[in-house]
A and B are shown apart, each in its own frame.
Chain A
Amino acid sequence: MTEDQVVAAKPNADYDAKLRSNPQQAGNFVRVVYRSLKK
């Protein structure tokens, strides 16, 4: 899956709600996790 596809899948949706993260904050967290694993 591409990074954008992973972000769109919202793998942390429960935490997004619990932490009241806006879409950019939630998406950026997924992106930094994704990129740190891809390196």
Chain B
Amino acid sequence: MRQPLAVAFAFLVLAPGVGAQPLQPSTPRPDFNTVEEKTTDLGNRTYMLEGEGGNVVAAIGDDGVIMVDNQFAEMHDKLSAAIKKLTPQPVRYLVLTHFHRDHTGGNEAFAKDGAVIVAHETIKARLAAGTRNGLTGNVVPPASRQALPAQTFKDAMTLRVRGRSAELKHLANVHTDGDTTIYFPDAKIFVTGDIVFFGRYPNIDFAYSGSIDGMIRGVDQVLAFVTDDMKIVPGHGPVGTKAQIHDYRRMLADALQRRLPPG
């Protein structure tokens, strides 16, 4: 649906971090018809799904699934089908790592399927208000009521289905202002969202309180928690290790050190 001009103008005026800075080209829209979901078994009934958008994790319990993120809206049917291949159990909880559309686009459809969306309170506020990409200027309109989280938390929260649990923790102002990490203790799997990337540069959503020094602080918090035997699921791309997070942290610190003074 076309964005009404008045709403688009309001975003231009009101969106944080939006000034006279030049806009950059957007990433071309993917051809969702050709995308397939790739499923990776991470062990202990926990799976990573890669399609178009951020990584998805599905932790299967005895009476339901705890799912993390859900890619773009267009991926719902393929994601849902991929999970149904793994288990007949329904998605009980859908946890969001942050508000970006490539991680939350399927909210409404999964909620209609019966999932309870769980997220940090700031994510709900961002989804409800709509957002604007500080780098490209792309506007994401306010989400529908059904796409909003039904349960929110402030600092930390534990979710349980029979036989599984997930520990949610909010890290403030790292990649965005609503970042959440998820730990599955029985599987030793730690999900970082877009705080951590392996083998590629991260995005930093400076329009919504993300920053390079916040990224370094957030990665330090992650490093303080994770252990060498954990599997680390980043926001995009392949699974990694604690040692790889150290390499990533070094790259971020170098980028900060090499910054040239803003003129």
Chain A residues lying within 8 Å of B135, measured Cβ to Cβ, are 28, 31-32, 35
| A37-B212 contact, Cβ under 8 Å, with A5-B263, A12-B254, A32-B204 | yes
User: What does the 1/0 interface line of A2-35 toward B look like (CB < 8 Å)?
Assistant: 1111100101100100010100111111111111
Bound together, the chains give a CA A24 to CA B201 distance in angstroms of 11
- Main SS of the interface on chain B? loop
What distance in Å separates the Cβ of B194 from its nearest Cβ neighbour in chain A? Answer: 12
B204 touches A34 (CB 8 A): no
- Main SS of the interface on chain A? helix
B255 touches A9 (CB 8 A): no
Checking B200, B203, B251, B260 against A11 with a beta-carbon cut-off of 8 angstroms, the contacting residue is B260
| A37-B262 contact, Cβ under 8 Å, with A12-B255, A31-B135 | yes
Is B190 close to A, CB under 8 A? no
A37 touches B259 (CB 8 A): yes
Bound together, the chains give a CA A33 to CA B201 distance in angstroms of 11
- Other A-B pairs, 17, CB within 8 Å; known A2-B263, A24-B25, A33-B256: A1-B261, A4-B22, A9-B260, A12-B254, A15-B201, A15-B255, A21-B200, A24-B24, A31-B24, A32-B212, A33-B212, A35-B17, A35-B21, A36-B210, A36-B212, A37-B259, A39-B206
